[in-house]
Structure 1
Amino acid sequence: MSEQTPVVVIVDAQTPGNVGTIARSMKNFGFSELLLVDPPELDPDGEAYGFAGQAREDVLPNARETTFEAVLEAYHTVGFTAVTNEDETSHVRFPFKTPRELAESLAERSGPTALVFGREPTGLHNEELAQLDEICAIPASESYPVLNLGQAATIALYELRNVTLGETQLPDRTGSVADPADVERFHEHVAQFLESIEYAPEKRAKTQRLVRRLLGRAKPTGQELVTLRGVMRQAVTRNRE
């Protein structure tokens, strides 16, 4: 594992399924080393492995048990908690970073880092939070800011994915913009279409300008222009019948 890749620490998880869920999220977003403080029993035939997906093959079976004190000694620690109604006078949780802000700062630091997630019912205790180097909180509704342990870890690891995976390249979701020559042929087709349907001659030039402006903003693909030309051809055919 690269020194730049943070380890994930789960403290006193009560539910094996949440451990499996976090392991799966780690696999999704490029994290591989899982440390467990006071873990529940992780039966290979139980819910932890059932929830882990493909992480049952590497992340979960390679998880190591450790102590909270050992994590403090070996890593730069980031604790995760909910945003509460406390203010800047409560030094346990303030100041804090959001996961996105944390991603930016971790990308610039060197040395081993541990992302520390707490127990289901209460999260990390204030005494534990006070010993960590940084606090990260996931902003949520003021009326119900508490997140499930596995849910919180999944959100955080997703936001931190650039630390492990780099800038994720998404496939082109828009298609390639039509060639300028195809666009001009389309405008010629529009002129022929207006003539074919006996559109008012005095309005044709203005209408063609409007169509040109519209296509300029829309940046249509070649396939979209082919479809529109097909619609116009069919309209002309129906008009002649």
Structure 2
Amino acid sequence: MGSLSVAVVGAETPGNVGTIARAMKNFGFSDLLLVDPPELDPDGEAYGFAGHAREDVLPNHEVLGFDDLVSEYYTVGFTAITGEDDGHPVRYPFKSPAELRDHLAGLDADVALVFGREGTGLSNAEFARIDEVCSIPANPDYPVLNLGQAATVALYELRELGLAEVHHPDRHIRADEAALGGLYDQFGTLLETIDHPPEKRAKTARLFRRLLGRAHPTGREVATLRGVLRGAMSAIERARDEE
């Protein structure tokens, strides 16, 4: 697979960032991405909780915006609450961490494992822009996990991806995020052009993104789909000009 990074969005407690960095070090991950992070004082709790990760993982973190995160990486958002029904597609479908491990092992793409805020996790609006959702199995009577705990459990399950290089002769080379972003934009334009009901466009766009998130199209497949959409748009414009 390509690179595998860990992203933390909107963490409020520096100690949780340090805990996640420590779990990364435990299980073989080194690239830490932070979106809207708290202040990380070298003499504060983040570095205190990081253990030996204070020497490399934590100080080498990268700060970026959420827009850059979803445009540059294939993103997997983590939650313990799935909302797993067709009527609420923002968090559907989902994989368990074990299923995700096998899935990512053969994927040639730069992946970011995305964890949200302590109190609320990732928002529905953020989940709508995430490529895939992973649900951490938990007691349905109390599925809420601490941010640091959730990341530690997930990274433990995915440790084979961080601790050892696995040979996958049938590696699937997924299209890059820029090409996919262009395809999503074209699909959104098509929905507007065909007067798809405005109140349904956001949901339909999410479903389209989820579909491609599961399919992992290659660069050639994305180029073909974009060509089809361009052809459809041209045909619609010609038909309107002839009216």
- Give TM-score scaled by structure 1 length: 0.66
Deviation at 1:81, TM superposition (A): 1.0
SS at match of 2:106: coil
Aligned residue number for residue 25 of structure 1: 23
Q: Residues of 2 paired with 1:86 and 1:75: CA distance?
A: 24
Percent identity among equivalent residues? Answer: 64
In the aligned structure 1, how far is the partner of 2:10 from the partner of 2:124?
A: 15
Q: Does 1:115 align with 2:113?
A: yes
1:98 aligned partner: 96
Whichever residue aligns with residue 107 of structure 1, its letter is A
- For residues 167 and 83 of structure 1, what CA distance do their matches in structure 2 show? 31
Q: Secondary structure at the match of 1:69?
A: helix
Letter in 2 for 1:162: E
- Taking only aligned residues, the RMSD between alpha carbons, in angstroms, comes to 1.5
- C-alpha offsets along residues 137-170 of structure 1, whole Å, 9 cap, x if unaligned? 10111111010000000000010111121389xx
2:3–2:109 CA contact under 8 A, matched in 1: no
Deviation at 1:84, TM superposition (A): 4.5
Structure 1 stretches lacking a partner, 5+ long? 169-241
Pairing 1:56–2:28 present: no
- Structure 1: how far apart are the matches of 2:108 and 2:164? 15
Give the Cα separation in 2 of the matches to 1:46 and 1:82. 29
Q: Kindly state the Cα deviation for residue 83 of structure 1 after the two structures are TM-superposed.
A: 2.4
The gaps in structure 2 that reach 5 residues or longer are 167-243
- TM-aligned CA deviation for residue 27 of structure 1: 0.3
| Corresponding residue SS for 1:41 | coil
What residue is the counterpart of 1:71 in the other structure? 69
State the secondary structure of the residue aligned to 2:95.
Answer: coil
User: What secondary structure does 1:92 align onto?
Assistant: helix
Task: Kindly state the Cα deviation for residue 85 of structure 1 after the two structures are TM-superposed.
Answer: 5.4
Larger radius of gyration: 1
Q: How many pairs are equivalent? A: 166
Normalising by structure 2, report the TM-score.
0.66
Q: What pairs with 1:1-241 in structure 2 (closer than 5 Å)?
A: 4-84=2-82, 86-166=84-164
Name the CA shift for 1:76/1:85 in 2 (closer, same or farther; >3 Å): closer
